[in-house]
Amino acid sequence: MDTKRIAIITDSGTNVPPDFVAEHNIRITPLRINYSDGSSYESGITITPAELVARFEEEVPKTSLPSPEALKLRLMMQKQQVMRVPFTLLSPLDFLLPAILLA
């Protein structure tokens, strides 16, 4: 099987170990980290796990999926690299797949 033609996509909330991500070429879609002061970050991109944990004493933030536009753009970029329909690593709380289907 040509695994370079299949995309495995999950969100950053699954906390897949970086070495596993690299070994299996998994694409991570960052969740949004939202604070009550209006600040918003992309998990693992504009805020590190260490920065996130450091702010827990102040506030435990809410998370959300990327915007449909951002998700669609990410999927379009992946489509240029792979030819198969992506699938996600799911958890009972995973809303990424429905968001992909809407994008």
The average pLDDT across 30-51 equals 93
Tell me the pLDDT band of 37, cut-offs 50, 70 and 90.
Answer: very high
Which pLDDT score, from 0 to 100, does residue 98 have? Answer: 61
Residue 52: Cβ within 10 Å count = 15
Give pLDDT tens digits for 52-71.
999 999 999 998 887 778 77
Per the listing, tokens 């996509």 go with 9
Interacting residues of 33 by C-beta distance below 8 A, sequence separation 6+: 40, 41, 42, 43, 47, 52, 61, 62, 63
